[in-house]
Amino acid sequence: MGRSVVLLVFFFSSFFSYGQQSSVVEPEVGDSWSDLVVNLEEVDQITEWWNIFNDPLLTSLVQQTIKSNYNVQSGLQRLEQSRIMYQQSRSYLMPSLEYSLSYATSNLNQPVNGLNGYGTSVRFNWEVDVFGRIKAQTEASKYNIDVASEDQRYLLLSILSEVTQSYVRMRMFQNQIIVSEENIEVQKDLVRLTQSEFESGLKSKVDFLQAETILNTTMASIKAIESKVANEINLIKVLMGKMPESIYQGLVQKQSLPALPENIQTLVPREALRNRPDVKRVENQILSLMATTKSAKKDLLPKLTLSGNIGFNSESADQWFEQSAMNYFVGPTLTWNLFQGKRAKNEVKLQQSKVDQFELNYKNTLLTAVKEVENNLVNIQKLEESNEWLERGVKSSKGALKLSIDQYSQGLIDYQPLLSSQQTLLKNQNSLIVSQGSLLIEIVLLYQSLGGDKSE
């Protein structure tokens, strides 16, 4: 009988065609990026990219963030939940066993459930995965683990990028304070000079008031920048989850910007794209949906279940194992839902439509990755060129200020050229600092675009 049932299942299954599985198709992105890539070093991996800045405090900050950030910890819990769901889906491949022990008594003429006394039984039920329906569901759960893993990696990468950018901005603001403080010393000297010239009757009081005004303005600007420094430190605290005192003291102590790396490391295009967590996430979503579609197709086929029960019922426990007390049954059950109002077939169509949709999303994600990396590369190149011009501008401004002070002291010029020289120097110095910070941030964004995260 059992052999006949199995043969019947395979006979009917021969009438079904499962179709071809979809495959992930990548769009054409060319054999190389742009001409900018040729000037960049190609390496095998881009993990732990924050080390390229050679900043021990930044490295400690990032490592602490990986351990303590609450969003990262929450993401790890979601990943663990996906793993548990996968293990749960695998359990359906195994038989289920149920043990029961009972005692019943009654003062009625008829016994409860046909028995006054003791009973014990073991029941089992097992859906034989003849056509791989349960296995396909398990595969979908496995790919969902990979989806959750890429979500976690994307979250971690975003947080590490954000904390590094915040650190760079904080150092950028601190360097603006340093520059302002250096200018304040020069401005104080000019206040004393103009005051002396005014008191001696050689210059107008207007020169003294203008010198005092620009000093007060610079002093006020420092307070505004200090609030920006405090805001960035507070943001870093949140991103870290908790901040050790040693790191806090290192942050509040003014330091120069992290050093620019000698070589900006990148990957060949295909490797760079495939390493991005958003790309891998969509890949695994497609594979999960394909497995779900496969399971939906197999749901149209018959299901073979083996079930059984063995038990002992007796009026006293010492009679349980006598032959007369034993009862059992075991056998296969074939179920086939022949008509569901096309619900099952529509479910197959729905899942296949989702696969097609995510394949389009995959192509769009890849093209977006190309755009982001290209933009980062262009921005880095242009900022490097801009920095060269700004450095020249700062050098010229310093020379112009020194010359203006000398000429004003000798009475060769009035105060307006000197005032203009002071303002131009401070403006150019701040512009250079902002540009240097923007370049560092753009490098961080490049590694984020390439999918760089912590090494496993």
What strands, in cross-sheet order, belong to the sheet with 96-104? 96-104, 117-128, 303-314, 326-335
Q: What is the mean pLDDT of residues 331-353?
A: 71
103, two tokens = 């005692």
- Reported as a pLDDT band with limits 50, 70 and 90, residue 319 is low
* 402 vs 324, residue with greater confidence: 402
Among 43-57, 62-76, 222-236, 292-306, the range of highest mean pLDDT: 222-236
Contacts of 138 (CB under 8 A, 6+ apart): 86, 89, 90, 92, 93
pLDDT for res 355: 81
Task: For tokens 């990957």, name the residue.
Answer: 267
121, two tokens = 């039984």
Task: Write the single-letter amino acid at 3.
Answer: R
Answer yes or no: is pLDDT of 13 > 90.
no
CATH 1.20.1250.20 fits 16-94+131-301+343-449, yes or no: no
Distance CA 166, CA 272 (A): 25
Among 109-113, 183-187, 258-262, the range of highest mean pLDDT: 183-187
pLDDT for res 317: 59
pLDDT for res 154: 83
pLDDT for res 436: 95
Among 26-30, 322-326, 347-351, 422-426, the range of highest mean pLDDT: 422-426
Reported as half-sphere exposure (CB side, CA atoms, 13 A), residue 36 has a value of 18
pLDDT for res 361: 85
Nearest-5° angle of CA 309, CA 311, CA 313? 145
Distance CA 8, CA 346 (A): 26
Answer yes or no: is pLDDT of 183 > 70.
yes
The 10 Å Cβ neighbour count of residue 455 is 8
Distance CA 169, CA 225 (A): 11
Contacts of 112 (CB under 8 A, 6+ apart): 104, 105, 106
Q: What is the mean pLDDT of residues 395-420?
A: 91
pLDDT for res 43: 40
Give 129-146 pLDDT, tens digit per residue. 566 677 777 777 777 777
Give 76-125 pLDDT, tens digit per residue. 676 667 566 656 655 555 566 666 666 666 555 555 454 556 666 677 66
Distance CA 298, CA 132 (A): 7
pLDDT for res 264: 67
- The phi and psi torsions of 42 (rounded to 5 degrees) equal -100, 130
Distance CA 236, CA 373 (A): 26
* 106 vs 12, residue with greater confidence: 106
* 45 vs 195, residue with greater confidence: 195
Answer yes or no: is pLDDT of 331 > 60.
yes
Give 141-180 pLDDT, tens digit per residue. 777 777 877 878 888 888 888 999 999 999 999 999 999 9
Answer yes or no: is pLDDT of 405 > 80.
yes
Q: What is the mean pLDDT of residues 57-81?
A: 77
Q: What is the mean pLDDT of residues 219-233?
A: 95
Q: What's the mean pLDDT when you consider all of the chain?
A: 76
Distance CA 280, CA 29 (A): 17
Contacts of 106 (CB under 8 A, 6+ apart): 112, 116
- The phi and psi torsions of 167 (rounded to 5 degrees) equal -60, -45
- Reported as a pLDDT band with limits 50, 70 and 90, residue 278 is confident
Contact 65, 241 (CB under 8 A): yes
Question: pLDDT above 70 covers what percent of the chain?
Answer: 64
Give 412-446 pLDDT, tens digit per residue. 888 899 989 999 999 999 999 999 999 999 999 98
- Reported as a pLDDT band with limits 50, 70 and 90, residue 219 is very high
pLDDT for res 105: 60
Answer yes or no: is pLDDT of 318 > 70.
no
* 453 vs 362, residue with greater confidence: 362
Q: Where are the alpha helices (DSSP H) in 313-414?
A: 343-409
Lowest mean pLDDT among 65-74, 352-361, 388-397, 400-409: 65-74
